[in-house]
Structure formats: structure tokens, C-alpha cells
Amino acid sequence: METTFLMVKPDGVHRGLIGKVVSRIEERGLRIVAMKMMKIDRETAEEHYAEHEGKDFYEPLLEYITSGPVVAMAVRGNSAISLIRDIVGETDPQDASPGTIRGDFGIDIGRNIVHAADSEESAERELNIFFKSQDYQEYSRVEENWIYE
């Protein structure tokens, strides 16, 4: 099983979309193994978005992500990293398919509701920024025997 990092961004929290995001993860059969509501400080935001430093959207992105509370999650399941990226949709909500979170709830690229790790390396790196080992819960969902063959 893979574990990936997913976060409801401040616009998602302010718009009351935490529950919808969580429902989509749960209904797909993925398991939330850590979850935390927090306000990201500037230093953490810089670390999280280090790959985008120097880009024209970098400063607005840091302002956006530090502007209010976020809900950070660790999500586990078979192929969790790519499945969560699919559930989230394309970066620009205008390119995101209906049925995805961004395609159903977003319009502007700078207000795209959720963040999701894009690879095994990013998932590990980002999970380590937001969670310590004691933040994870070890359990399995009762229906996993029916979700996995």
C-alpha cells in the first residue's frame, strides 16, 4: 500500500468543502491514517512549495496557503498516490474534468481547493513536513476485504 499527502487549502476550508473532500476519499475506499487542522507558517509553506521558488505565482501561492486554516491528511491504499491525484483533478480547475474535486468546485488556478502529492518522492517529503510517526493511526476499514480482491 502507498501513503500519500492531501491537503484542503484555505479556500476549501472557508467554503465548507472539508466534508466533501473527505467523503470522496472515504467513498473511493481509501483510508485516512492521519489528519490535522492547522495554519501553515511562512517557513513551512516555503519548504512545502520549494520546487516553485522563483516562479511568478510563488509569492501569491505562499500568501494563499498561509492565509487561513488548512486540513492536512495522510491517505493510504493501493495506488493511493495516483488515485488521489485523479480524484483531485488537473491543477487548473478550468482543465479539470467534472467528477474531480477541482473540476466540480473550482474556477481559478490560484484557488484550486486541494493539494495532492504528485509522486512517491513528494508524498514522502510532504508527509514528513506535516506529520510525525505518532500522528499515524494503524487500523483497517471493515470493507477493505470487499474493496480489494
Residue 99 binds ligand IDP (CB under 6 A): no
The burial class, CB within 10 Å (0-12 / 13-18 / 19+), for 140 is exposed
Q: Tell me the catalytic residues.
A: 115
**Stretch binding ligand IDP (CB under 6 A), from 26-34, 109-117, 125-133, 136-144:** 109-117
The burial class, CB within 10 Å (0-12 / 13-18 / 19+), for 28 is middle
Least Å distance between CB 76 and ligand IDP? 20
d(CA 51, CA 114): 17
Neighbours of 130 (CB within 10 A): 19
Residue 91 binds ligand IDP (CB under 6 A): yes
* Binding-site partner at residue 126 among Mg ion, ligand IDP, none, CB < 5 to 8 Å by type: none
CB closer to ligand IDP out of 55 and 148: 55
For residue 112, give the amino acid letter: N
Binding site for ligand IDP (CB under 6 A): 52, 57, 61, 91, 109-110, 112, 115, 118
